[in-house]
Amino acid sequence: MPPKRAAAALPSRKAADAPATKATGKAPAKKAATNGAKEAAPKKEPAKRGRPAKPQADEKVKAPAKAAKADKKAESASPPPAESQESQTSKASKSSTKSKTTMAKSNKRKASSEPEAPVAKKVRASALLKDDEKNVVPTQRMHIYVFGEGSSGELGLGTAKNAIDVKRPRLNPLLPADSVGVVRIAAGGMHVIALTHDNKLLTWGVNDQGSLGRDTAWEGGLVDIDDNKSDDSSDSGDDTGMNPREATPTAIPEDAFPEGTKFVEVAAADSASFALTDDGLVYGWGTFRSNEGIFGFSKTSVVQKTPVLIPELKKIRHIAAGANHILALDASGNVFAWGSGQQNQLGRRVVERTKIEGLVPREFGLPRRQITQIACGSYHSFAMDKKGNVWAWGLNNFGETGIPEHAGEDDAVILKPAKVENLAGKNMKMLYGGGHHSVGVTEGGECLVWGRLDGFQMGIPMETLKALPEEQVKRDEHGRARILKVPTAVPGIDAVYACCGFDHTIAITREGRAYSWGFSANYQTGQGTDDDIEVATLIDNTAVREKKLCFADAGGQYSILAAPAEGAAPTTNGTA
């Protein structure tokens, strides 16, 4: 449990909007002007998903601003820990996209001359899962649908027309199920990694810190987004262009991995990507960011531009990514964490002078040999044990861990794994974290939500939330509901899966329909509007209406849906 601290007012917008996960710092406001974000944090290198600035304990809570729509493609801020709600609000669109200047530089950069750490050529047999224990290779090919912000290539639509602001789900024509055949996919802050049926790792989106794992230097002219405008694009005239080598799904060269490597799972952080093999090894590339900017990928590599084996890990079953931290679950039921630990998301204390040690995967305070599931939010983490207990740790200034103690205080964190008593006996099936809210699905189909609610992150009518007693809702000094402290079911949803963007949520029902709610400034809810979506609303258009959806994932300002491809013959990765 977190240490006692003096009572404090609810985190201000600068304080409360701490670091952010699978998504960009923004909050209840529409596309707020960019000035506020610059005041909240010193200017740093562009980050993938803009992160709120460090909390200021003495700032007062202000009501969510309904700012006038501003340029969506504002310069991205670097990822910090908690920040004010106003600041996060104004970062909503700012941090989710790149400015004209930043984009132009990014697209024309040359391949880095920085030496790359070589891929390990030989692995000890003891580090590998035995043949009869190997991770199951996925075989189900999927149709991939994308929507939201695409000005940095994160939708993987290439440089074709209508690739920028996609308001409703669109089948990605560059990822046909019958030929490309995506079987796994993961959304990072502003990039995506996908595993195909024939064992290729495709990446697309922003590659500023090597998150794509391949060279994307482009000497051709930039594609002018304004020339590609159509009815499905933004009305803004300030966009620059896209690098086709970033915007187009492209495979990482096969020789980046040892011959015979087969992949089973992928994960994407803000500026890094990871892939798990059938024999339990993990490869990664990119970098982690801290409050001060680029933190590093490992103790020997700041920005890892090509895949490298993570040597400390062996016999791994699953991996999960937050904004700037990773979890790995091994075959014995132990969990390892590494990355930036400034918000205690690694589950162990990180001392400033030795914080680089956080880049080394290590076990921490979870019960040994007991864990069956892992999940991440932007700056918080979850684990589930064999008895069904849910454990959480990391940033908690909006109660995103599900542990109500100190929720609403600046810099509130859960220092080490603690049981989430509010989920005891709920028979949880899965968990997923957003920027400052979380979602869980029970075996019975309940879609439970908790954490920050002032940007419609809960999908529950605000009038219902306002009427809840003090034990369930934290209010600010003006009496406005700000935090849902107790996991509460979203009405009308019989869920089998759910995921979070930074401030929006998508749930998949037993019937294969998708519902979304929350922040929608960049159309990331797929509802065709940039107005926030208050309650769980069916995502419905001709692209997905007749499909039985099975998966969803989200970055800060875009989302992905997937449906199994009918008639696509199952294959084992690398073989027909």
Taking CA atoms, 407 is separated from 167, 395, 420, in Å, by 34, 10, 13
Q: Which two tokens stand for residue 174?
A: 């560059």
User: What is the rounded average pLDDT of the residues 475-487?
Assistant: 93
pLDDT band at 552 (very low <50, low <70, confident <90, very high): very high
Cβ atoms within 10 Å of 542's Cβ, excluding its own: 9
Taking CA atoms, 337 is separated from 87, 211, 296, in Å, by 29, 19, 15
Helix (H, G, I), strand (E, B) or coil at 229: coil
User: What is the rounded average pLDDT of the residues 159-173?
Assistant: 92
Q: 53-67, 271-285, 501-515: which range is least confident on average?
A: 53-67
pLDDT in tens, 191-215: 999 999 999 999 999 999 999 999 9
Q: What is the pLDDT of residue 228?
A: 44
| Selected residue with higher pLDDT from 374 and 113 | 374
Q: What is the pLDDT of residue 124?
A: 83
CA angle (95, 101, 105) in 5-degree steps: 105
Q: What is the pLDDT of residue 545?
A: 97
Enumerate residues 6+ apart whose C-beta is below 8 A from 312: 336, 360, 361, 362
| Selected residue with higher pLDDT from 22 and 482 | 482
Q: What is the pLDDT of residue 44?
A: 36
Q: What is the pLDDT of residue 353?
A: 84
pLDDT band at 71 (very low <50, low <70, confident <90, very high): very low
CA distance 318 to 327: 8
pLDDT band at 58 (very low <50, low <70, confident <90, very high): very low
Q: What is the pLDDT of residue 47?
A: 38
| Selected residue with higher pLDDT from 51 and 553 | 553
DSSP 133-191: GPPPPP---EEEEEEEE-TTSTT--TT-TT-SEEEEEEE-TTS-TTTT-EEEEEE-SSE
pLDDT at 34 exceeding the cut of 70: no
Q: What is the pLDDT of residue 219?
A: 81
Q: What is the pLDDT of residue 73?
A: 35
What's the pTM? 0.80
Radius of gyration of the chain (CA): 21
Torsional sign, CA 384, 472, 54, 21: positive
Q: What is the pLDDT of residue 383?
A: 99
User: What is the rounded average pLDDT of the residues 514-539?
Assistant: 98
Domains and CATH numbers, the chain: 137-217+242-564 (2.130.10.30)
CA distance 343 to 400: 13
CA distance 139 to 420: 35
CA distance 165 to 69: 15
User: What is the rounded average pLDDT of the residues 532-554?
Assistant: 98
Helix (H, G, I), strand (E, B) or coil at 342: coil
CA distance 544 to 162: 18
pLDDT at 90 exceeding the cut of 80: no
Under 8 Å between Cβ of 510 and 494: yes
Q: Which two tokens stand for residue 419?
A: 């049981």
Torsional sign, CA 515, 520, 524, 529: positive
pLDDT band at 561 (very low <50, low <70, confident <90, very high): very high
Q: What is the pLDDT of residue 345?
A: 97
pLDDT band at 556 (very low <50, low <70, confident <90, very high): confident
pLDDT band at 568 (very low <50, low <70, confident <90, very high): low
Q: What is the pLDDT of residue 467?
A: 93
Q: 44-58, 226-240, 294-308: which range is least confident on average?
A: 44-58
Enumerate residues 6+ apart whose C-beta is below 8 A from 182: 141, 142, 144, 175, 194, 195, 196, 197, 202, 562
Q: What is the pLDDT of residue 222?
A: 55
Shortest CA distance to 192 belongs to which of 544, 559, 470, 562? 559
CA distance 277 to 200: 12
Q: 44-48, 144-148, 172-176, 419-423: which range is least confident on average?
A: 44-48
pLDDT in tens, 237-277: 334 479 999 999 999 999 999 999 999 999 999 999 999 99
Backbone torsions φ then ψ of 124, nearest 5 degrees: -65, 140
Q: Which region holds residue 278: left if phi is over 0, alpha if psi is between -120 and 50, else beta?
A: alpha
Enumerate residues 6+ apart whose C-beta is below 8 A from 255: none
pLDDT at 355 exceeding the cut of 50: yes
Chain-centroid distance, C-alpha 146: 15
Under 8 Å between Cβ of 151 and 239: yes
Length of the chain: 576
pLDDT in tens, 392-414: 999 999 999 999 989 999 889 99
CA distance 496 to 493: 9
User: What is the rounded average pLDDT of the residues 36-50?
Assistant: 36
% residues pLDDT > 90 (the chain): 67
